Structure 1
Amino acid sequence: MTREVSIEIKAGETGSSIATSLFSKGVVKSSQSFFRIAVSDSRSEQIAPGTHQIQRNICAQDALNQLLDSKRIVGLVNIVEGAWISEILPQLYTAGFAPADVASSLRSIKKPNGFTNTEGLLFPAQYSFAKGTSAEAAIASMVENANSAMQKAGFFSSGLKFSPQQLLIIASLLQAEGNTGDFGKISQVIRNRLKIGMPLQFDSTVHYIKKSRGSVFLSTQSTLISSPFNTYRRYGLPPGPINNPGLAAMRAATNPTPGNWLYFITVAPFDTRFTADIDQFNEWKIEYKKNLRAGKFRSSR
């Protein structure tokens, strides 16, 4: 069996640098041959940072293929935007972290000032943890990335009407409720409803309580669930984030699109409409139900 070696790929590393590493570790016979293959193949742009286990003494094309194989990345944890902690935990276990260590680290991890929940602070990204990395260090890196993203989004700027924790909650609602292009408008809807004391009534908060994915329809019974996260029964923002949002949602949380909208509804996948008129909203709701019965939402998340 061909022996494997560890190749560490840093974020933003150049093709020539990767080629040199592959040659020095005995993966390819020539750094130039790998560089030529990488330049001619657009897939090379998808090489992920992290520690890759690659066979030695292989051709340049096979080296590229192995670098593109996510199964060869050591300790891989891929957090998608909007993931719940309950969805991230199995990945941490698969990456080799003991459940007890993960649970202990989630309880004890140092959070940015003013934050009480770990949900929302595990920043979406692809992580690769080297063998021997502690659960505490792994989770700390996610929290550090979230803190950096919140700083970029202006969460800690002075003069804001919402605290950083509240902005993270808003960002999580945006992440769950719409597509990136609609984040700014939904951010304004939240502000408009809170301003007049109108309940948010977001389906996503009930889905979070029930831990239900892929369901578009929400029953009336579900809206009656007793939970502080149920924005059908409770006024104001939920007490914590309902997922782990990405940078785009964070930026929209601090930069809403101006408008007087109070209602929005996705009548079909990627067709979300906004209005301040309840009659218009109810007309769109009829259209939404028609599309739901026709199965137009079956392929949506």
Structure 2
Amino acid sequence: MTVLKGWMKSVTSLLLLALMLGAAGVWWVQHPLDTGQKTLDLSIEPGTSPKAIAQAVVDAGADVSATWLYAWFRLSGQSRQMRAGSYEIAPDTTPQRLLNMLVRGEESLRSVTLVEGWNWRQLRQALAKAEHLKPDSRVLSDEALMAQLGRPGVAPEGRFYPDTYAYAKGSSDLAVLQRAMKAMDKHLLQAWEARQPSVSLKTPEELLVLASIVEKETGKGSDRPMVSGVFNNRLRIGMRLQTDPTVIYGLGEAFDGNLRRIHLQTDNPWNTYTRGGLPPTPIAMPGKAALWAAVQPAKTQALYFVAKGDGSSHFSATLEEHNRAVNRYQRGIKTGQD
């Protein structure tokens, strides 16, 4: 009997709305909902019924009859096509627009940008500040976080591709990290498969490390292949990389912006002045250009480079030439050979 009464009530509502669908009915479905001049947040979980969605709209703060809204959903013939998600009901949203938005899954999106050259600490800070992004990773250690992402035992540094990622309001930051990690996997594999036979890299992991160094060492984008050429040359002949960004990375938060001689002389796993080969992990997030430069270095005899002060670098094949370049560009000393 209760089921029958409920059915009769629904049929009555549908019939009443059908009778309304003259001029008044058209006005109702095209007239903005009363949101109190505020944008309302509407969250629909998977499996929510059309009737419950109508009630959720009311619970979100819209001054509208849940019964009439549900009847409109039913009469539209699209009530079962409405999708779960996070939505925003703007003050000018009509019942018609609301239905279209739910059927098309037009969620309210935000975005977070991960910048080329950022390290892991900077990435986590950006996620923590991202608007309406659930900070599920905040309570996780680096080890626990990587295990959660399916990479237990892998260091997070450099594993996420720098790009802008859109997400629905209320999404987990772990979901953003998962997408960024898969994007890096894809770009890393593409670069590795396109590597020149002569590159001094044995694995995609080494590629990721070298690309991160190229990213941090390059002030001018067009210099990336030459910077990579220098490092590939040094790796091939067993010469230490001696690159400042790796030392700075090894200092971590202790670095105060002033790199001193004592820093270059103090050994740690990332100090490429005291240790040969590549450091144990990347030092930043490399972008696509740095990844490709690492596997397609310029053909050069250069073993040295120095910043010229305008974002570009001067490259030298001999130490004598390099010392002259250092005097000119770093110390302002010119010789007759310059």
Fold conserved between structures, TM > 0.5: yes
Shift of 1:266: 0.5
Cα distance in 2, alignment partners of residues 158 and 110 from structure 1: 31
1:139-170 C-alpha deviation (Å, 9 max, x unpaired): 11110111121133235879674200000111
- One-letter amino acid of the structure 1 residue matched with residue 300 of structure 2: G
* Distance change >3 Å, CA 157–CA 266, structure 1 → 2: closer
Q: How does 1:282-297 map to 2 (within 5 A)?
A: 282-290=323-331
* Distance change >3 Å, CA 163–CA 133, structure 1 → 2: same
- One-letter amino acid of the structure 1 residue matched with residue 124 of structure 2: L
* Distance change >3 Å, CA 140–CA 235, structure 1 → 2: same
Q: How does 1:186-197 map to 2 (within 5 A)?
A: 186-197=227-238
Match status 1:264 vs 2:302:
no
Match of 2:39 in 1: 4
**Aligned residue pairs, count:** 231
TM-score normalised by structure 2 residue count: 0.61
Residue 273 of structure 1 aligns to a residue whose secondary structure is strand
Match status 1:247 vs 2:288:
yes
Report if the CA contact (8 A) 2:146-2:154 is conserved. Answer: no
Residue 270 of structure 2 aligns to a residue whose secondary structure is coil
- One-letter amino acid of the structure 2 residue matched with residue 167 of structure 1: L
Cα distance in 2, alignment partners of residues 120 and 258 from structure 1: 26
1:217-257 C-alpha deviation (Å, 9 max, x unpaired): 63211102221111010000111100011000001111011
Residue 134 of structure 2 aligns to a residue whose secondary structure is coil
> Identity over the aligned pairs, expressed in percent?
28
Match status 1:176 vs 2:216:
yes
1:6-26 C-alpha deviation (Å, 9 max, x unpaired): 8xxxxxxxxxxxxxxxxxxxx
Query: Structure 1: which 5+ residue stretches go unaligned?
Result: 7-50, 59-72, 292-301
Please say which of residues 190-199 and 132-141 is displaced more in the overlay.
Answer: 132-141
Cα distance in 1, alignment partners of residues 166 and 113 from structure 2: 9
Report if the CA contact (8 A) 2:115-2:162 is conserved. Answer: yes
Tell me the C-alpha RMSD between the 2 structures.
3.1
- One-letter amino acid of the structure 1 residue matched with residue 154 of structure 2: T
Query: Structure 2: which 5+ residue stretches go unaligned?
Result: 1-35, 42-85, 94-107, 333-338
Cα distance in 2, alignment partners of residues 268 and 147 from structure 1: 35
- One-letter amino acid of the structure 1 residue matched with residue 204 of structure 2: P
Shift of 1:172: 0.2
| Larger-gyration structure (1/2) | 2
Report if the CA contact (8 A) 1:5-1:55 is conserved. Answer: yes
Cα distance in 2, alignment partners of residues 274 and 182 from structure 1: 10
Cα distance in 2, alignment partners of residues 228 and 74 from structure 1: 41
Report if the CA contact (8 A) 2:194-2:295 is conserved. Answer: no
Match status 1:85 vs 2:125:
no
TM-score normalised by structure 1 residue count: 0.67
Select the residue among 95, 117, 127 that pairs with 2:165. 127
* Distance change >3 Å, CA 221–CA 52, structure 1 → 2: farther
Report if the CA contact (8 A) 1:105-1:135 is conserved. Answer: no
- One-letter amino acid of the structure 1 residue matched with residue 322 of structure 2: F
